[in-house]
Amino acid sequence: MDMRKLVGTNFARLRRERGLTQEQVEAKSGFSQQYLSGLERGQRNPTVVTVFELAQALDVSHLELLAPLAEPGRRVRKSRP
């Protein structure tokens, strides 16, 4: 999957799981609602700094925005320590 779509899909899922609107995330992060909408559609290419700032606005680890999506019928394995 394209990294832009991956980050956008994870961002949208995490935002909804927390019951936040794009407008609420805009107020917390300083990124416009239009930017967030484009991000969720995979049309934005966020920088590393942007990923960190968006993760902070959602109160999640930046790694959650970068985590691969499980394909239907497949499980994502965690690496061993």
75 inside domain: no
**Residue 50 is assigned to a structural domain of this protein:** yes
- Does residue 1 register a pLDDT over 50? yes
24: in domain = yes
What would the pLDDT profile of 33-49 be if each residue is shown by its tens digit? 999 999 999 999 999 99
Domain count, the chain: 1
**56 in a structural domain:** yes
Taking 60 as the threshold, does the pLDDT of residue 23 lie above it?
yes
Range of the domain at 47: 3-66
Q: Read off the pLDDT band of 77 (50, 70, 90).
A: low
Tell me if 12 is assigned to some domain: yes
CATH number at residue 22: 1.10.260.40
Tokens linked to 68: 């691969």
List the beta strands (DSSP E) in 6-80.
none
The answer to whether 62 and 55 have CB atoms below 8 angstroms apart is yes
Q: 23 burial class (0-12, 13-18, 19+ CB within 10 angstroms)?
A: exposed
